[in-house]
Amino acid sequence: MNIALGIPKERANDERRVSLSPAGVKILNENGVRVLIEKNAGLASNFTDEEYAEAGGYITDSQETLYENANVIVKVSPPQPQEAALFKPNQMLISALHLGTVNKSLINSFLEKNITALGFEFIETRDGELPIVRTLSEIAGSLAIQTAAKYLETGYGGRGILLGGIAGVPPAHITIIGAGTVGLFAAQDALGLGAQVTVIDKEINRLRRFEAFFNRHIVTAISNEHYISELARISDVMIGALSPKQKVIKHVVNENIIKTMRPGSVIIDVSIDQGACFATSRHTTHTNPIFVKHGVTHYCVPNIPSAVARTASFALTNTLLPFLMKLTAHETITEILWNSHSLRKGTYTFKGYVTQKSLAQITDLPCREIDMLLATG
């Protein structure tokens, strides 16, 4: 397939990342892929247009020109409503989808235009790994601890607690809900700073792996209302880090439990992309990241890795490149998907149908199995 790959400037609220770094553009260019970059697309990640041009990219003056001349669009955040009209029939899109805030009209426009759309949340390797989600989750887990440390400070209305404490003064207690990648990196950073850490999850085998990994330096508990209630009363920080494999996440901490948390405590809801871990959570932004409810500071920013846009853009490039290279191996989109398990699993609209059951349930749109659509040619 002759690829003209377009990298638009992100227009979602406070989204500072870019889908490919200049180094990624250079690799694609060397492998025969024409890459178009909208002017200033990488500026918020400190990548200049000159760097992209030197890497072999073509700088376009407008969003319209980029969409007109590219047959594959690669973004970070889901397209905004104003971007939907720019898509041409039969294009391919690769980006995040964010099931927690999915736009039905956008999906309908994809179906009408026969857009083949792939979501970061769905791209899966044969061993069940979600490589793009994992990369971004590693960043989100580490940032959750940095963020918690900041909002525990007195100046931000927190309890005035140093995460690791000092000699004679006990450290903060952090409860992490979810023993996945976010939870792993959050626990690792919290322990590194000297905090007390409890990890809860509904799967005992996940907790066993955590105990072994951290050599029993953390406390683990099964996720149920009893343990959550007990931990809420003693925790300075609670982090929602439920597994993205659930696709659509429902809260596991109810409002009555949150009311028992001590004033100045902090909630970091990393799960907000796919729903919410806490009943009181609502979307916030990097510009206005927090709100206080029941005396508890809530941080519920969906695109947490955007806070470190340059690191996140490099990480995204590293993970995306192998999949983008697969686009060059075959002549048609059908052949590409048929021959790539990961890209096939990642597809959520194809040939005018939704191909992910979780998305079909949210949007009430008809669903067809991707394998069936591919088999019919």
Q: For residue range 278-303, what is the model confidence (pLDDT) as tens digits?
A: 999 999 999 999 999 999 999 999 88
Per the residue annotation, which of 14, 98, 236, 251 is the catalytic one?
A: 98
- Say whether pLDDT at 160 is over 90: yes
Q: Is the CATH number of domain 137-302 3.90.226.10?
A: no
State yes or no: is 273 an active-site residue. Answer: yes
pLDDT of amino acid 329: 86
pLDDT of amino acid 123: 96
pLDDT of amino acid 244: 65
Q: How far apart are CA 85 and CA 106, in angstroms?
A: 9
DSSP of 64-129 = HHHHHH-SEEE-SSPPPHHHHTTPPTT-EEEE---GGG--HHHHHHHHHTT-EEEETTT---TTS-
pLDDT bucket at 341, cuts 50 / 70 / 90: very high
What CATH code would you report for 4-128+308-375?
3.40.50.720
- Say whether pLDDT at 246 is over 60: no
State yes or no: is 173 an active-site residue. Answer: no
pLDDT of amino acid 133: 92
Measured over the CA atoms of residue 38, residue 44, residue 45 and residue 47, the dihedral's sign is positive
pLDDT of amino acid 148: 97
Average confidence score pLDDT of the chain: 94
pLDDT bucket at 1, cuts 50 / 70 / 90: confident
Rg of the chain taking only CA atoms, in angstroms: 22
- Say whether pLDDT at 251 is over 90: no
Q: Against a cut of 0.85, is the pTM above it?
A: yes
CA distance readout (Å), 198 to 7, 151, 263, 348: 41, 19, 20, 36
% pLDDT > 70, the chain: 98
- Assign residue 247 a region: left if phi > 0, alpha if psi is -120 to 50, beta otherwise? left
Place of tokens 């948390």: 261
% pLDDT > 90, the chain: 87
Residue 252 in tokens: 């596991």
CB-based burial label for 317 (10 Å; 0-12, 13-18, 19+): buried
pLDDT, tens digit, 9 for 90 and up, residues 124-146 = 999 989 999 999 999 999 999 99
pLDDT of amino acid 110: 96
Mean pLDDT, residues 86-99: 94
What count of other Cβ atoms lies within 10 Å of the Cβ of residue 149? 22
The boundaries of every CATH 3.40.50.720 domain in the chain are 4-128+308-375, 137-302
Per the residue annotation, which of 14, 189, 201, 273 is the catalytic one?
A: 273
